[in-house]
Structure 1
Amino acid sequence: MASPPLSLDCWSKLPLDLMQLIFEHLSFVDFERAKSVCSSWLSGSRQSKPNNKIPWMILFPEEKNYCLLFNPEDKEEKLYKTQHLDKHWADSFCLATCRSWLLMETFHEVHLYIFNLLTLERIDLPKSLSYGSDSPILWIDERSKDYLIIRNDLTYFKKGDNSWKKEISVQLSDNQNGMVFKDHKLYGLTEDELRIFDFSGEFPLQVSRVSVRGCVKLEKVSRMRWPEPWAFNQLRRRNNVVVTLRGDVLIVRSKSPNGSYSWNFRIFKMDSSNEKIKWEEIFSLGDEAIILDLGITVLAKDQEGVTSNSIYFNAQDTSQYFADIFVFNLDTKKVEQLPQVVSSVLLSGARWFLPNFKND
């Protein structure tokens, strides 16, 4: 005989540990909905955190001391305005993200700092780090606040009260196309090869140099006719390195003709099963989706707001002056521009980030 359905009164009397287990499996949007079930669930939510796996977009209004957040999971496509942030926020722009941490640089004084968008914590960085590439790497430990910054040929790592710098210019910075840092490994893509460094030890160690000839194709970038910006053209002729959830290394080639709003993407996967490493072109990501700005994939199966077997990208890959979000569907080979999330606000930048509500 089937058990009778639980009444609302029964749901409100769930043990706290069971309630916490439910909350910690919910996405951010479902977490917010569950809080309104009853007073006991609201109380239980205060001791739990949502399990967010969906990347959000942070938008930077010009000369404002706040930012706007766009959560693709929210079907109402709302923009959420933050409280007033750091006093230097309006005079800063974002160089990189690591979960909820942002690497910020001030416009006038050329100074770097790390800022947590959720906790409002700030870490000022040494002045020696204020010069380097426009696409640096940021990594930070949530608990200890140890951090790693990589800008071109300068690596700066702080652990406890000690820190070290190490020049890696010969191995990394020449003809640099892009970098991704994941699981204590740095993947640097040049015109000729992929260079992998291991940062798990006392000092960074180069562990591999893999030729990318055949899957990285360089194209001459020419200036476009006004009014379309030249920086937007660069996005359309680009090679990106991406690391998947399982640790597979991909190279994503993107191209779009001048003056066209159509894109073409090709994906190559590194095959290291044999002695000679090869690149194999793949045509499906399965249940995953690529967030090109972050150089990662996310699980898209059964996730609201993210379509599987797709590539999410925006003009932020080369310029901070666009907030349009695009998605390329590998099944249909079509590009869709997601609904405009900003209509009247003048922006100075946009970035994808993975909000982290837990300290692990």
Structure 2
Amino acid sequence: MNVSSSQRSSSDLQGFNDVRSMFKETLPQKSGSPWLMLFPKDGGCVLYDPKEGKKIHRNLRDFPGSRILANSGNWLLLLDSGSNLFIIDVFSEKSIPLPSLESIRSKTSKIKRVGDRKFERDDSGCIFDELSSDVVRGLLWVDKSGSEYVVVWFFDLPGHAYISFCKKGDTHYTDIPLYYPDDHWLDGLSYMVLGRDRLYISTSRRYIQVLDLSGPQGFFKDITEGKPFPMLSRYQSWDSSIAVTTSGEVLLVESDPCQRNCFRVYKKNLNVKDPDSASNTVREVYSLDGEALLLDLGFTVPANDTLGIEPDSIYFTRHYRPCQCSPCDLDICVFNLVTKSLKRFPGLDDMNLMDARWFLPGN
């Protein structure tokens, strides 16, 4: 049975009130060193400060069956047991209800709910009838005040050809196609990063597409139209994802799936004359130029020794976060790109974790 946003609000907010009070005295109001959100398999949430070695447990007993799809600072994108999406700030009472998953505005496609967790999509007469909230993935961006937000979600199934998004004030989601009959370089989805009004997509062929979402409801524009560029390295068997620097430059980040003690970072190689036919279109870099990378969020942040944000470091938990058709094991670590040193957190090994995410508290 579907639960209305008003009914959810009181119980959902009650479940998070304790979090706010617990952290009021211990959590900085401005960005500090990166923290971890930890999600044990038996439920609940633990917020962990690696710098102080402090864990604060939270039952989340008011969210049975809920799943956290994404985070943006203190804000979480949750999918509840009735397949309803909402955003909530874990340190305040603020909760933001979102349109229902079936509220898609599209000229060629529509989604119908056939159960709390089951959906059908009719795409110009072609029926996708095995859609489940279990395979819904998402991305979230929220500004520091919580006054603006962007949500992206999709069904993570092979061959599913759409992602959907909404912004504050939207009454429905807008479909973005992942299939382009006239440009196969842009077909499919390998990875995504969301930042404010920019959605960065690595396609199945590892071409980079950047979408501008800044316009009115229903607007999106491919600002790389006519000049997509592949991000291909010689280590095709390594796990890979993309990230974006504070200047807007796209990075390719790879790690060895067999032995996660090495990361490689690449930038676009401007000297490649014919990228469409090249098997290696990137150049490796050995520094993040004074920044640090929170790979879970897909963005670099300025390093700050005082706050404990280590320069040239990659804060990592797992690859393929936006797309998890092939789930990867958790590996919570900080890798220094200059010294090639790896720091793990053995104190977390006994927690039987389902997921974990780095975040900057108060950001």
TM-score bin, normalised by smaller chain: 0.5 to 0.7
Query: CA 1:138–1:183 in structure 2 vs 1: closer, same or farther (change >3 Å)?
Result: closer
What's the offset of the Cα at 1:206? 0.4
Q: Equivalent residue for 1:185?
A: 198
What is the CA-CA distance between 1:324 and the residue it aligns to? Answer: 4.7
1:269-288 paired onto structure 2 within 5 Å: 269-270=267-268, 279-288=282-291
Against the structure 1 CA distance between its residues 301 and 139, is the aligned structure 2 distance closer, same or farther, given a 3 Å change threshold? closer
CA contact 1:251–1:268 (8 Å) conserved in 2? yes
- Cα deviation, residue 54, structure 1: 3.1
Q: Secondary structure at the match of 1:341?
A: helix
Unpaired runs of at least 5, structure 2:
1-23, 104-116, 118-131, 156-161, 276-280
Task: Give the structure 2 partner of residue 50 of structure 1.
Answer: 29
The normalised TM-score by structure 1 is 0.67
Contact 1:144 1:160 in 2 (8 A): no
Partners of 1:105 and 1:256 in 2: CA distance: 29
Which fold has the larger relative contact order, with Cα–Cα distance below 8 Å and residues 6 or more apart in sequence?
Answer: 2
Deviation at 1:205, TM superposition (A): 0.3
RMSD over aligned Cα atoms? 3.5
Of residues 168, 177, 181, the one that matches 1:159 is: 168
Shift of 1:295: 0.7
Quote the sequence identity (%): 29
TM-score, normalised relative to structure 2 = 0.66
Q: Which residue of 1 aligns with 2:294?
A: 291
Which one of the candidate residues 83, 91, 94 is aligned to 2:65? 91
Question: Is the 8 Å Cα contact of residues 63 and 91 (structure 1) preserved in structure 2?
Answer: no
Give the Cα–Cα distance (whole angstroms) in 2 for the partners of residues 120 and 63 of structure 1. Answer: 25
Shift of 1:350: 1.5
Check conservation: 1:177, 1:239, Cα contact below 8 A: no
> Match for residue 240 of structure 2?
239
Count matched residues.
286
Q: CA deviation at 1:53?
A: 4.4
Output the CA distance in 2 between the equivalents of 1:216 and 1:117.
42
Asked if residue 311 in structure 1 is aligned to residue 314 in structure 2, the reply is: yes
Provide, for residues 97-129 of structure 1, a one-character-per-residue CA deviation record: whole Å limited to 9, x for no partner.
1121111123x5333322221114333331328
Change (3 A) 1:165 1:175: closer
Unpaired runs of 5+ residues, structure 1, are 1-30, 36-48, 220-236
Equivalence map 1:59-138=2 (5 Å): 59-64=38-43, 66-72=44-50, 74=51, 76-82=52-58, 85=60, 87-88=62-63, 90-106=64-80, 108-125=81-98, 126-128=100-102, 135-138=137-140
- Compare CA radii of gyration and give the structure with the larger one: 1
Q: Which residue of 2 aligns with 1:27?
A: none
Distance in 2 of aligned mates of 1:293 and 1:103: 14
**Secondary structure at the residue paired with 1:336?**
strand
User: C-alpha separation between the residues in 2 aligned to 1:179 and 1:93?
Assistant: 19
Rate the CA distance shift 1:256–1:175 in 2: closer, same or farther, 3 A: same
Paired with 2:328 and 2:256, the residues of 1 have a C-alpha distance of: 20
